[in-house]
Amino acid sequence: MIKFDHIAVGCTTLQEGADYVKEHTGLTVPVGGEHPNMGTHNLVMATGRDTFFEVIAIDPAAPAPAYPRWFGLDDFFGTPRPLAWICSSDDLDEDLEIARALDVDLGQPTTQTRGEMTWRFAVRSDGKIPLDGIAPMLMQWPEMPLHPATKMPDFDLRAEVSIDTPEAAKLKQLLVALGANHMPIIISESNKTRLGFVLNLPEIGKVML
């Protein structure tokens, strides 16, 4: 079974990502940290007690890994934009098998860290996100009393995911198979693929990324 965990905005540099979020929301996203196994770093803020918002980029100060980075960041270019939505699993190995049975390769479990935190995250051998970039990426947190979001600054921003895709039926089938319930995800059939985030802020209302 999977549960909505967080969303990620991709960018070429964290400063560009910070400026992008500031322009659209007025918020300054605090520094998160480095992911040494992937050569990336991020900014993070909570969007609830067990969900968060991430801005992620390649860390120019970190050595490049000997394998493709997650989120397809090795091929990222252009302006900041919604990049991925991530779900937490209570059994990552089983859920990856379920996806493979539906011919969706969400990757293999890897161990990732940021500071003192450690978790498992599925990454494909090519680093890409399947279904043209709109499939959920899967991870598994270790057993812990509180979600890491409880330690992140919370500016009362709440988020939903909006997906337009010709793979709508396939994506819905995958989510049903993975036991995804009550997720803030809107999936629409479309000739073109688009991943968007709907942000709700008390001061300005809805913002579309």
pLDDT 10s digits, 73-87: 999 999 999 999 999
Read off the pTM.
Answer: 0.96
Q: What percent of the chain has pLDDT over 90?
A: 98
Per CATH, the homologous superfamily of domain 2-154 is: 2,3-Dihydroxybiphenyl 1,2-Dioxygenase, domain 1 (3.10.180.10)
The pLDDT value given to residue 182: 87
Q: What is the 3-state secondary structure (H, E, C) of the chain?
A: CEEEEEEEEECCCHHHHHHHHHHHHCCCCCEEEEECCCCEEEEEEECCCCCEEEEEEECCCCCCCCCCCHHHHHHCCCCCEEEEEEEEECCHHHHHHHHHHCCCCCCEEEEEEECCEEEEEEECCCCCCHHHHCCCEEEECCCCCCCHHHHCCECCCEEEEEEEECCHHHHHHHHHHCCCCCCCEEEEECCCCEEEEEEEECCCEEEEC
pLDDT greater than 90 at residue 66: yes
pLDDT greater than 90 at residue 108: yes
Convert the pLDDT of each residue in 145-203 to its tens digit.
Answer: 999 999 999 999 999 999 999 999 999 999 999 999 889 999 999 999 999 999 999 98
